[in-house]
Structure 1
């Protein structure tokens, strides 16, 4: 057992943590501790020999904190809507999303031009690889369309 979310001898993402297809963590305002505890402590159904949680109490505390943070966020958005109106809040949400999109497109365009200045082709690809502790390779390839500024 080692600290952190992914033990250093892991070679597969399945060893990183729990993969839960669907579970209603809060039902009618009630935190479903028994159900999530059962999921987190049950052996996997796919036949892989991966142990369950290393610290159920910490997992439950983390999930409760996430639920509390989500509930607080809901209350804050509701308060903002009461103070400013739904239309204004939606307008700002749209502005934030468009601004983020513009910033990412600009970053992709700048990145692509630094990587491949001489190439007139519309597409530039960047490859990277890194290694896990056991030597397993992780490869990433990103292709950027310089005209549309979209990463594929």
Structure 2
């Protein structure tokens, strides 16, 4: 008997079954006979259907495996992205720190040049004041010498 014949017997059995009153179309069937027919269907089921069931099971396993692999790939990609972003952040922070150090160094160099210029200017001013005082003293000393020994001029009448 093939599956079509078994299904036809089930259909005949349902048509011949006693209808239960007020049950909305429910009927009473011989459960043992129904189970035997279902077992016969299973036994006569074509191998393609069994293979299709196996493929469905395999498909589910393949999909689950693919999902797990995809999740792993996504997780790995996210970790790599975080690592790269972290490295980029470190580079950005290092560049910012380097810029800050350069700015501070330039400011310190300007301050040092300004301090050196102020020191040099102050030293030259003090030297100028000292030299001015010494020149004034030299002039005063010369003037004193001139005043102390006026040059004698010889009169023509005294020559002779």
Structure with bigger helix share is 2
TM-score range, shorter chain: under 0.3
TM-score (norm 2): 0.22
**Which structure has the higher relative contact order (CA within 8 Å, separation 6+)?**
1
Structure with bigger strand share is 1
Q: Larger Rg: 1 or 2? A: 2
TM-score (norm 1): 0.23
